Amino acid sequence: MTQTIHTDFLDAVEEIPATEMKNAHGKRLPSILKSKGVARVTRYGKTDYVILSPERYAKLRKSAMTADQSQIIKMKARYQTLLKDIRSNESVDAFDALSKVSAIDLGRSVTVGSGR
């Protein structure tokens, strides 16, 4: 599954050059994550990594799971409705009647139904 990731929002995220992360052992990172919840590490002026605070990550996961679970619940309800319709007495009777029709009669009904 290919997913397009939009990175426009990264322009507003505070950046830490990779060299600074390496040389200063990321001393600024904790304060950035505490205040903003997200930071990006850049290399040659381009975003190399995006780092989220545990709280921001948990919130992101929760919202993603909620959306997925909501979709699953809707699909399950639709499936139950379709299954109920298939199992209705009217549907069973119609299938039984159709299975008893000869090929000749079935061909005639198609011709009549099409207006020929």
At 18-67, the pLDDT tens digits run 888 878 767 888 888 888 899 988 999 888 989 999 999 888 888 877 76
pLDDT of residue 104: 86
Domain 8-101 class, CATH top level:
alpha beta
- Assess contact for 41 and 26: CB atoms under 8 A: no
pLDDT band at 97 (very low <50, low <70, confident <90, very high): confident
**With 0-12 CB in 10 A as exposed, 13-18 as middle and 19+ as buried, what is 21?**
buried
pLDDT of residue 78: 93
Is pTM beyond 0.95 here? no
- Assess contact for 18 and 46: CB atoms under 8 A: no
Going from N- to C-terminal start, the domains of the chain cover: 8-101
User: Alpha helices, DSSP H only, in 16-102?
Assistant: 18-23, 29-36, 54-86, 89-100
3-state secondary structure of 40: strand
pLDDT of residue 1: 45
